[in-house]
Amino acid sequence: MNLEEDAIKNDLTYTLAHKDELLMNFYLKGKTNMEKASGEAPYAFVIPANGGDNADVTDMINNLQVGQHIEIHRLGQAAALGGRQFAAGDYVVRMDQPFGLTAKNLLSKQTYPPIKTPYDVAAWTYGLLRDVEVVPLADPLPGGLGLLPVSGAVPYAGTLTGVASNAYVVEHGSNNNLSVALLRLWDNPDMSVSQADAAFNAGGRSFPAGTFVVRTKVSNQNHNALKAVVEELGLVGYSVNAQELEGVQFAALQKPRLAVYARYAGDFSDTGEGWTRIRLDRAGWSYTRLHPAELAVMAPNAYDIIVATTTSSMGTAGYNALKAFVEAGGTLILQGSASRLPVDRVGSRRHRGA
C-alpha cells in the first residue's frame, strides 16, 4: 500500500482547491498568536551575546531563526532594560510577532506537570538546555533601541589571542564544537593535543582541569591554522609559552578507534543509533558499525570506544565481549535502554548467587 504517496497527493489536491482559505487561516493564526503573546509579560527576551560560549549562543540563535521561524533583532546601541544594562549587539526576541507564542514557550521557564514519572522526552527552557543566559523583560520594550533585524545564519566568532608560539591553550567550554576541533587538530601533523589533569596558570590567566593544550612548532603558518579552527568553531584560545606549562600534568589525546553497536547489518530501525550516527557524521567522526556477530568475536582491544543505544540481539556472547572490552581498558558509552545493561546483568547474577 503506497500510503505516503497517496497522502501527499491528497494534501496537494486539497491545498490547490483551498489555497486562499489556507493562506487566510495561516495569517489569522499568526495574528492571534501575536496578540496573545504580546498581551502580557514577558514582552521580550534578551539573550546577551556573551551569555554563554559563543558556539552555544550562536547555535541557539540560528536554531530559533531557521528551525522555529522566530524573528530576532540585535540592539543597535547599549541600553538599560528591566533594571539591567545590555550591550550593543545583544539579541532581542520580541513577543509581538507571528511566532511569539512559540518563542515564549521555548524561552520561558518550563513548569512540569505534578506527576511522578515524566511522560515525554520533550522539554524546553531553551536557555538551560543550551547553557545560555536568557533574560525575560517584564515591561514593554521602549522606543529608540535601534533594533537591527538578524537575517541569515549568524557565523561563529571564536578568538585566538596572542602571537605565534609553541603552545596554545583552548578553553574547555560546554559546546560540542571541541570534538570537531579535535578532529582537525589530529589531522595536522604539526600539532599535538593534551588535556590538563588539574587547574593551572599560564599567560596571566587561570584555567580549570580539562583545558586543552595544543603544542606545535613556532610558525605563522601553524598559528594561522589554529586561529582558523578556533574562530570558525566559536572557541576561545590563547598563545602561551611551553615553559609556563612545566610541572603541569597533561594526558595526551589520540584519535580513538570508535564503534557504534547496531542490531543487524541492514537494520535502521534503532532510532537511538541513527541519531548518534547523524551527530558523528556531521562532526566528521569515522566509526565502525558493529553488529552482533562481529561483537561476539571481537578482540578486547579492537576499539577504544564503543557506543550502544540498545542491547537487543546482543546476547550473552555480546555482553561477555563488552565486559572483556571494559576490563581491558576500553570506554563503553551506553545510551537509552542500553544504560540498564550493567545494572541488569550484575543484578541478575547476584540474584542467582553468582
Domain range list for the chain = 38-149, 159-253, 258-351
Cβ atoms of 47 and 133 closer than 8 Å? yes
d(CA 212, CA 195): 5
What contacts 57, CB < 8 A, 6 or more positions away?
47, 48, 49, 50, 51, 91, 130, 132
Per-residue pLDDT tens digits of the chain, which is 354 residues long: 689 999 999 999 999 999 999 999 999 999 999 999 999 999 999 999 999 999 999 999 999 998 899 999 999 999 999 999 999 999 999 999 999 999 999 999 888 777 777 666 667 899 999 999 999 999 999 988 999 999 999 999 999 999 999 999 999 877 789 999 999 999 999 999 999 999 999 999 999 999 999 999 999 999 999 999 999 999 999 999 999 999 899 999 999 999 999 987 666 667 889 899 999 999 999 999 999 999 999 999 999 999 999 888 888 999 999 999 999 999 999 998 899 888 887 655 544 443
Q: How high is the pLDDT of residue 157?
A: 93
Helix 271-283 vs helix 177-186: crossing angle, to nearest 10:
50
d(CA 182, CA 253): 9
59: left (phi over 0), alpha (psi -120 to 50) or beta: alpha
Written as one letter, the residue type at 133 is: E
Q: How high is the pLDDT of residue 342?
A: 84
Q: How high is the pLDDT of residue 354?
A: 38
Grid coordinates representing 97 are 510577532
Domain 258-351: give its CATH architecture.
3-Layer(aba) Sandwich (3.40)
Give the full edge-to-edge strand order of the sheet including 167-170.
159-161, 236-240, 167-170, 212-216, 191-196, 250-253
The pTM is what? 0.82
Buried b (16+ CB within 10 A) or exposed e, 247-282: ebebeeeeeeebbbbbbeeeeeebeebeebbeebee
